[in-house]
Amino acid sequence: MRLAAVRSESGPRIGVVSDDLERIVVLDPALGTVDDVVRGGRPALEEVRAAAAAAGSSVAIGEVELDAPLRRFNRDVLCTGWNYLDHFYESQGKREGQDPVAMPDHPAFFTKGPDTVVGPMDDIAFDEDLSSKWDYEAELALVIGTEGRSIPEADALDHVFGYFVANDVSQRDLQRAHGGQWLKGKSIDQTMPIGPWITTADEIGDVADLVIECRVNDVLVQHATVGQMAFTIARVIAELSRGMTLRPGDVVLTGTPSGIGNAREPQVFLQDGDRVVTGISTLGTLVNTVRRTALV
């Protein structure tokens, strides 16, 4: 299934998106939110499936307003850095003296604040008084559905509830200004669109075949397959969970491919009014406008 969060006057409601991505069944608010379904496991998922089948009517997807599918977070969003070799090497020598000598032997992890999250069609906040280097990063994101600690790599994908699209918009100068760590330059409010819905893991064949793309003002700036990751999704989950419990509702970003603005010559950074379209095959598309917002 594809589970969306539909905005309504009474609060968020679960929407089930059709296979052709053109229509949506909006369910009774008594069923709760997508966050509830993720935490409710298989019984909650089957209840939603039955309710959607019994609904008997749907509306065009364009007739509803979608919110970020997840709004209740256990902790910061968990992120993976340098997970595409081409992205790692395109940025060498361009990290302002903070380059590692070689590609790490293990995934690089960091976190970002959940207040970064905005919906799939919402504006991306932009404040040039805060940063002059706003960069795009198209990513595959996943949400954990089954709790686990020190999860074996062979079992890791069994802990994934579903997948969705994210754009890890980053402020490169803030990233460099605070000791080289990523938290500050990745945690600015209202800057990470996610969605447009969660596609449950059973709907996806080989995750490695998914194609990630990002366009800025209709110019293709990123294009890759998940199979180009340096560390597979299963490896990321296994290493992230080593000695650390992952719980239903935890969100994990899996890295961005090459093409980022900071690594281009000349560099290209987002500006007020830019239109950013981020898509992953079969998972849907985010369409967001960069909009000047007072953040400081």
pLDDT digits (tens, 9 = 90+) for 57-99: 999 999 999 999 999 999 999 999 989 888 767 766 555 556 6
Count of CB atoms situated within 10 Å of the CB of 20: 7
Pairing type for strands 138-144 and 134-135 reads: unpaired
The pLDDT, as a whole number, for residue 101 is: 61
Helix, strand, or coil (residue 173):
helix
Q: How far apart are CA 207 and CA 195, in angstroms?
A: 17
Q: Cα 58 to chain center, whole Å?
A: 27
Looking at the structure, tell me whether residues 89 and 60 fall in a common domain: no
pLDDT of residue 92: 65
Note the pTM of the prediction, 2 decimals: 0.95
Taking a C-beta distance cutoff of 8 angstroms, is the pair 52, 23 a contact?
Answer: no
- Looking at the structure, tell me whether residues 153 and 40 fall in a common domain: no
Residues 144 and 29 in one domain: no
Check whether residue 229 and residue 112 sit in a common domain. yes
DSSP class of 31: G
Domain closes at, from 67, 100, 118: 67
Question: Residue 75: its pLDDT value, please?
Answer: 97
Query: Which pLDDT tens digit goes with each residue over 158-199?
Result: 999 999 999 999 999 998 888 777 899 999 999 999 999 999
> Minimal CA–CA distance to 276: which of 175, 164, 137?
137
Find all residues with CB under 8 Å of 38, minimum gap 6, and list them.
Answer: 70, 143, 145, 161, 162, 198, 248, 249
Domain count, the chain: 2
Of the residues 67, 96, 122, the one at which a domain ends = 67
Dihedral sign (CA 177, 182, 183, 187): positive
Q: Are residues 21 and 127 both part of a single domain?
A: no
Give yes or no: residues 93 and 187 share one domain.
yes
How high is the mean pLDDT in each 10-residue block of the chain (296 residues)? 95 95 96 98 97 94 98 98 80 59 85 98 98 97 98 98 98 86 93 98 96 98 96 98 98 96 94 98 98 97
Write the Ramachandran bin of 41: left for phi over 0, alpha for psi from -120 to 50, otherwise beta: left
What's 224's domain CATH number? 3.90.850.10
Question: Would you state the pLDDT for residue 175?
Answer: 85
Give me the pLDDT at residue 120, please.
Answer: 98
The pLDDT value recorded for residue 121 is 98
CA–CA distance, 290 with 78 (Å, rounded to integer)? 24
- Which residues, in sequence order, are CB contacts of 59 under 8 Å at separation 6+? 23, 24, 26
- How far is C-alpha 122 from the chain's CA centre? 14
C-beta neighbour count of 99 within 10 angstroms = 13
Question: Could you tell me the residue range of the domain that residue 261 belongs to?
Answer: 77-292
Determine the straight-line distance between the first and last CA of the chain, rounded to whole angstroms.
40
